[in-house]
Structure 1
């Protein structure tokens, strides 16, 4: 029996570090438009929702996106992500959920689709977007992936994987039981430096504008 997949993107209009970041212009569209455009094109996703307390967000997303109004309480700066996800999941039923964020506008359809296919194959219990870094890493004053008295070549060093927060895919029962968006056997979808861009500050936004401009120029050549 085919499993149902619902994608949702939590958005609050007012943001702390970069004012109104989710509806800022980025190229021809708003920042919010890009993630939804990719999700809508993935056939194995049955429904795509924006989870927001303000209906005006619908002016900034593509046609085909469903609106679910959330409690304005969830817009609070101290509210944790899991509380937002629980609220959505208790309202919209599905077997699998794909949580994505507007702040990763360069995440590709290919990456999301590939990760989803791996989870639906049942070989993995979840998936997330990551960046693979093969370099020398320290944590709390100690080396994390190499011995200082036996320095390896960079190409031989144990890689680390950094969450990009672009997207997460998980099972409903797994999240409700364990309150985890990452399971115990996750699929790591590796993304490149452009896909990994996460817009939270003014500098991030200005860099994204340059990326959009450069991509447009390359397409015109």
Structure 2
């Protein structure tokens, strides 16, 4: 980590309930008995640029997994029980207001276990881009996005381009639209507290490649992610770290 830059601390929320995929965060995933939570913590332990990790959870199994992986960490790993009133699915705004109160001073990197392929290289790249474009640049925060350059319609017609000019242009010539993929949000803790938001008015858009941006939200997403992980990333007999 650069000595002249404020430290960046990771915030990892792991709520017990999942409306779409029961036990999504902790059910076995490939060769990992601790599931997506174990995978993400292993990735965080291998990051070179983060100063600490804080896990916020109301799930006893998440606590068990995190405590079991504590020996992997050469930096603080804090496991903080989440208040019951902030463990419901409709409380995100209130939860965002709460997060800065439990985090150390410096950059606050919010990521999710449901981004299984956003690994240590991407985490470190996010910190590097934050330092370049936020701390030393013109932006006030950073967030992970997926670039979309394709033919897009809404209920009123085409929104991706002017069909009166060219009906079917080459997609690479279309103006990009960016979808927030929730792989990473990065903002100064005090700025987050002031804004009560994970991002500012002028976030730097970190273009995350398709696999790293993969999000587990539905049962099919979990199954596909597990197959990808097993085929390309699973720890083998030699003990290779996942992702």
**TM-score normalised to structure 1 length:** 0.89
1:54 alignment partner, one of 55, 59, 66: 59
2:91 alignment partner, one of 79, 85, 109: 79
**Gapped regions of structure 1 (runs ≥ 5):** none
2:105 alignment partner, one of 94, 101, 113: 94
Q: How does 1:94-173 map to 2 (within 5 A)?
A: 94-121=105-132, 122=135, 123=137, 124-151=139-166, 152-173=169-190
Deviations 1:29-72 (A, max 9, x none): 21112222222222331110110123431332332332011101
Q: Name 2:25's counterpart in structure 1.
A: 22
Q: Name 2:217's counterpart in structure 1.
A: 200
Aligned CA RMSD, in angstroms, stands at 2.1
Q: How does 1:9-48 map to 2 (within 5 A)?
A: 9-29=12-32, 30-48=35-53
Question: How far off its partner does 1:24 sit?
Answer: 1.3
CA contact (8 A) 2:152 2:158 kept: yes
SS in 2 for 1:68: strand
**Gapped regions of structure 2 (runs ≥ 5):** 238-243
CA contact (8 A) 2:111 2:183 kept: yes
CA contact (8 A) 1:55 1:67 kept: no
Deviations 1:55-102 (A, max 9, x none): 43133233233201110111112212x322322211223221000011
SS in 1 for 2:25: helix
Count of residue pairs the alignment pairs up: 218
Cα distance change, pair 169–216 in 1 and its aligned pair in 2 (3 A): closer
Question: How far off its partner does 1:140 sit?
Answer: 4.3
**TM-score normalised to structure 2 length:** 0.81
SS in 2 for 1:200: coil
